[in-house]
Amino acid sequence: MPTVRLVATAGSAQGRGHLARALSLAEASWAAGTTLQLELLDGTLSDAERGRAAAVGMRKAVGEGPAAGSLVIVDVPQPASVATRFDPAVLAVFDDSDAFDGRAAIIIQPSQAVWRGTGEAGVVLSGYDYVPISAAVRRQRSAADSSADAAPDRVRPRILVCFGGSDPADVTGRIVPALAALDADLEVVVGPSYRGATDRWTVVAHRDPADLVERLAAADVALLGAGTMKFEAACLARPMVLLAAADDQPSVGSAFAATGAARYLGDGRTIDASVVVDALAALLADPPARAELGRTAARVIDGNGADRVAAAIERLAQPAARS
């Protein structure tokens, strides 16, 4: 079987969603004997990310060019600038912003129903069926599906707040202080690259907790950035409110909310925090609406996207696919 090289970035300015997605794709059901490599263009792996890579036997890529016969997956903010290094016949590119104007065998647009870029590809995979979800989230969903236990009966609801692995615009710092007005327990999660000051808040911030998936699954409502984590919350059937935390998130956040899987409020970098408080209070007071959001979210994101993308990429190794 071929070598699959995943090229990603995790710099603090771009966030860590591209790396998270690459690791989720590495956790897919690849054919026996497949060698997985990671080429990290920016940033470093956190302990949790290093553990995920090790669990699937992922190796650090060595050298600029992969070995002959390798398949390449590029998942970076500006894929066109990186894609030119590789043979288009064995190249797959993630393009959430529809900006890729180069050539590839496969283009993946998991954040919109249709890819509208100007590049060339033999195959385009677009829509939420192609969202890679981490193995930990898929296991948690499976456990929840097979459990007959009722949700915990809490006196106060629990809101999990997270705006990504780095949150360079510090949406967390803008919004969290205002959330103290809610009659709810807050769990604030910041990523390994977050640089904001957390000591001025009245709640404790959990930095890159090892049990993040379990915390997310137990939340009554999630307040999230409109990036990668919204898909994980959806897979876990969590009702959520979304804010954009980066330039590429307003369009994907509103598109996802249009499915009925979430409520999108706008740009978290500029929105009045009182709007967020009011929206969360209204959702907490409406259990049927929360339940419907969760059910719809779980239908939209079934958790099998990584396997679908991996299967399409593996077909590139077949002679008929490349002739």
Domain check: are 207 and 280 in the same one? yes
Closest CA to 12 of 169, 136, 168, 239: 168
Greatest CA separation for the chain: 63
Residue 163 corresponds to which amino acid? F
Residues 29-65 pLDDT 10s? 999 999 999 999 988 999 999 999 999 999 999 877 7
DSSP annotation string for 129-182: GG----HHHHHHHHHHHH--PPPP--SS-EEEEE--SS-TT-HHHHHGGGGGGS
Domain check: are 129 and 144 in the same one? no
The residue length of the chain stands at: 323
Closest CA to 22 of 93, 123, 78, 124: 93
Domain check: are 108 and 238 in the same one? no
Angle ∠(243,249,252) on CA atoms, nearest 5: 100
- The C-alpha atoms of residue 102 and residue 222 are separated, in whole angstroms, by 37
Cα–chain center distance at 290: 21
Domain check: are 114 and 245 in the same one? no
Domain check: are 160 and 241 in the same one? yes
Q: Has residue 153 got a pLDDT over 60?
A: no
Strand partners, 101: none
Residues 188-229 pLDDT 10s? 999 888 999 888 898 989 999 999 999 999 999 999 999 999
Find the mean pLDDT for residues 242-258.
Answer: 95
Residues 223 and 276: beta-carbon distance below 8 Å: yes
Name the E strands within the chain: 3-8, 35-40, 59-60, 71-75, 91-94, 103-109, 120-126, 158-162, 185-190, 205-207, 221-225, 240-244, 263-267
Domain check: are 110 and 71 in the same one? yes
Residues 56-94 pLDDT 10s? 999 999 877 777 779 999 999 999 989 999 999 999 999
Domain check: are 286 and 173 in the same one? yes
Total of domains in the chain: 2
Q: Has residue 147 got a pLDDT over 90?
A: no
Domain check: are 309 and 295 in the same one? no
Domain check: are 263 and 241 in the same one? yes
pLDDT of residue 69: 76
pLDDT of residue 29: 96
Would you place residue 319 in the very low, low, confident or very high pLDDT band (cuts 50, 70, 90)? Answer: low
Domain check: are 61 and 116 in the same one? yes
pLDDT of residue 63: 76
Domain that holds residue 202: 140-300
Domain check: are 231 and 120 in the same one? no
Residues 170 and 196: beta-carbon distance below 8 Å: yes
Domain check: are 178 and 39 in the same one? no
CATH number of the domain bearing residue 218: 3.40.50.2000
Would you place residue 317 in the very low, low, confident or very high pLDDT band (cuts 50, 70, 90)? Answer: confident
Report the share of the chain in percent with pLDDT over 70: 95
